[in-house]
Each structure stands twice: as structure tokens, then as C-alpha cells.
Amino acid sequence: MVSEIKTLVTFFGGTGDLAKRKLYPSVFNLYKKGYLQEHFAIVGTARQQLSDDEFKQLVRDSIKDFTEDQAQAEAFIAHFSYRAHDVTDAASYGILKSAIEEAATKFDIDGNRIFYMSVAPRFFGTIAKYLKSEGLLAETGYNRLMIEKPFGTSYATAEELQSDLENAFDDDQLFRIDHYLGKEMVQNIAALRFGNPIFDAAWNKDYIKNVQVTLAEVLGVEERAGYYDTTGALLDMIQNHTMQIVGWLAMEKPESFNDKDIRAAKNAAFNALKIYNEEEVNKYFVRAQYGAGDTADYKPYLEEADVPADSKNNTFIAGELQFDLPRWEGVPFYVRSGKRLAAKQTRVDIVFKAGTFNFDPKGAIELKLNAKSVEDAFNTRTINLDWAVSDEDKKNTPEPYERMIHDTMNGDGSNFADWNGVSIAWKFVDAITAVYDADEAPLETYKSGSMGPEASDKLLAENGDAWVFKG
């Protein structure tokens, strides 16, 4: 039996693509499951001039593929309202305030406000400031701010943004979204690691040879070249998604499984992450760009539309992370991410000194063990112990945005990045970026449709290791 959540959510960027594709369907799923019943309200806001009826039609269209009962959908949509407003104009917040208070009264919601910022990052600080100065924060219940990535573009810009946000919100009111942390694969890490004594006892240098995190994409930059050429794989995938996954893998067992203790355990690991100098960047990291492939569909990165002909941007990154912790002494954490690779895959491979353990993004788990061969002589062979999530479980598994909105409603920050983790990730990545910006590192190329440059394989071979996932 689920408990009703009483809350009012204001979506900034309420007419945008993310809201239509992910956010409204996610809220609808929470409604269908009974978490939202009578005492909730959704207020959408953006620059676009829409009436309430026009906005409700937008929502109706966004949830149509998830609607089995039209009467149920209409009951859900009745909780929506809309106000056009300019986030940079202090005076227009009065219009939004009136809409929020009207919705709160209509659906009998006393406090409990969530503000979701699905807007350009340059507006994050401005919105937070005006939410406080113009009186949009609730005086009872909670106030929480959900923020899409990127959280800054460097440590300096992230620190400036953090300062702006803290003028209106405490850090435990900030929910920094990394949708990878809402994926079932990542959710499984803690359960499998700490819920099974065999893994809990073996999760250390005595039994683990290395840890591998792969976030691979088959697509190129598509229409995103203007943005991507200023970020690359390092900032787009390593600084946020990959580092947050690594946090779950490297952390000590928390004192309890509430969000404060989980964050404390993650931060102990992040604080022990070695930050590299220039020589170490070149030793432990590989950057590369994709070149041509076997077909004309695979154009080199430098020939993609809107990519500068002299771009040194990385479309592939591989590296080794090191943690100065007794648990992980001598154990490399390998990470890699790139575009135009052989397969779309997000996976974690734990390579034990005898065997391999894999978390698959689709909810599958694979354990490879050494066992005796059936031959007369005493030889070993590798056997697989596999589990895959059932179709019924897949149907009931929340999408990442659904899970993260639900967690925010419950005040559970376990699956969100906190400031300490974000700041360490930026300091680590800034040290690498400084070397790349100065062009003091080799820029490899790799064949589109491969799993990256040869230098990526050599990086692991230096330690007698190899990538488990071959594409």
C-alpha cells in the first residue's frame, strides 16, 4: 500500500522537450501508482504564451503513449496549470507566485514545494535568487530545488553557482540530477555489493584486480556539434555520470542507508581520489577523436557539420583512477566513454583475481567463475552464472526521471550528487582539461565503429589488464 505524497511541483522550462518526453510521463506514472492522488499540483512556466487549456493539451499529448484509461488521464491533467513568465524579470515572479498559491489552495497543499529547473544553466542562480526574494518559497513544509546538469563548466564556475544557490537554499535542499544514478544498473550496485556477504567481504584489494566503467555510444555528434565541441567526452560523460557511478563502487559501507550516511561514505572515497599533474595525466589518460569507418555513413569528427577543422576536442576518453584508501591500494579504476564506438553500452565490470562480475544496463548480472573442466586432467574452464531481469520486472521498473522526482518528493538525496562530490570531480577533471587546453597531450584517432584507439588498450596492458567489454 503506497502513501499519498502531498506536493506542488513547478517546472521551469515547462514547454520544453525534456518536460514533454520525460518529466510529465514520469509524474503520470507516479499518479498511476498512487503516490500522487488528490493533494498535488503541477505548475508549468516558460516564456511561451499558453492558456491553461493549451498547456493541458500539451501534457495530454506528452502522456498519450502511457495512457490506458482516458478518464484517469483527465483526472491527472486537471492538476496542471500554466503561467508564462520571464525568469530574468523580478516583477514577473509575482504572476508565478499567484499561480502557485492558487494551485496550492485548490488542491489543499500546505507547503511542500519543488522547483524543477529544466532551463539553460545560466539561469539557475537567477531563478534561485528570485524564488527567495520574491516570496515563492513555502513557509511550511519543505522547499527543494531540482537542477539539471551541467553543474558548472569548471570548478570555478561550479563554485560560483553553488554560492548563488546557497543564498536561497541549503545544500540538503538541492537535488542535482544525474539521470544515470536513476538507472536500474546503478541502483543495483549497493544492493548487490552490500546485500551479499560474499561480495561485501571480497570488495577490496585482496580479491579485486581492477574495476571498469564503460559508457559507450554508437552515434556521432549529430546536430550537437556546437555544444559538444566545447565539452567533449571528458566533460560530457566523465565528470558527471562516470564519476558518480565510481562513487558507488569505491565507497566504504555506510553506517546506515539513509541519504546522509550514503553521501558521507561516497565523499570519503571522493576525498581520497588522486588528482594528477601533467605527467600523470599523460600516463593515466588517453584522449582521441573518431575518424572514418568502414562505410560512408561514418564521417570523421573533423568533417562533421559545425566542427572546426582544427578542433582538438576529445570524442573518446579512457583513464585510470586511483584512490588513496587501504581498501583500494594498487587497484586501478578504469573509465572510458566515447562516441562512434562499436556498441551502445553502459556497464560496470568488476574483475576479481579469479573471475569477473558484470552489471549490465538492462538489469542483467553476469558472474564468471573458474570451474573444473570435464576432462580427466585437472584443468579449469570459465563458467557463467547469469541473471536477466524478467519482462514483468522491466514493466514495473521506474524510469530514471520518475525515480528521481519521486526521491525528491520523499527528500531522499541518496541518488543525487552533493557539492563535495561535484567539487572533487571538477578538480580532478580540471587538472586533465588544463593539459588538453595547452595541447600538452597526444590526440589519438580511432576508427568509427571500433572500441577506441589502440592507446586505450595499451593503458590497461601496462598493468597486465584488458578491457572486458570488446564491443
Nearest partner of 245 among 270, 209, 224, 227, judged by Cα = 270
Residues whose CB falls within 8 Å of the CB of residue 318, separated by 6 or more in sequence, listed in order: 285, 286, 334, 335, 336, 338, 452, 455, 456, 459
How big is the chain, counted in residues?
A: 471
Cell 507516479 appears where? Answer: 30
**39 catalytic per annotation:** no
Cα–Cα distance for residue pair 256/45, rounded to 1 Å: 39
Task: Report the Cα 273 to chain-centroid distance in Å.
Answer: 20
Report the candidate in 2, 201, 20 with the shortest Cα–Cα distance to residue 11.
20
Q: 52-62 and 24-32 helices cross at what angle (nearest 10)?
A: 80
Look up cell 546506515; give the residue: 256
User: Cα(114)–Cα(98) distance, rounded to whole angstroms?
Assistant: 16
Whether the CB-CB separation of 346 and 183 falls below 8 Å is answered with yes
Distance CA 350, CA 252 (A): 16
> Of 85, 179, 241, 406, which is the active-site residue?
241
Please state whether beta strands 365-372 and 380-387 pair in parallel, antiparallel, or not at all (unpaired): antiparallel
CB-based burial of residue 367 (10 Å sphere; 0-12 exposed, 13-18 middle, 19+ buried)? middle
d(CA 67, CA 80) in angstroms, rounded, equals 16
Q: What whole-number distance in Å separates Cα of residue 39 and Cα of residue 104? A: 9
Distance CA 130, CA 113 (A): 15
Q: Which amino acid is it at 69?
A: D
DSSP 304-362: STT--TT----SEEEEEE-B-SGGGTT--EEEEEESSBSS-EEEEEEEETTEEEEE-TT
Backbone angles phi, psi at 9, to 5 degrees: -110, 130
Q: Which residues of 432-441 are buried (b: 16+ CB within 10 A; e: fewer)?
A: bbebbeeeeb
Closest CA to 320 of 170, 209, 212: 212
Q: Are 313 and 232 in contact (CB under 8 A)?
A: yes
Q: Which residues are catalytic?
A: 241
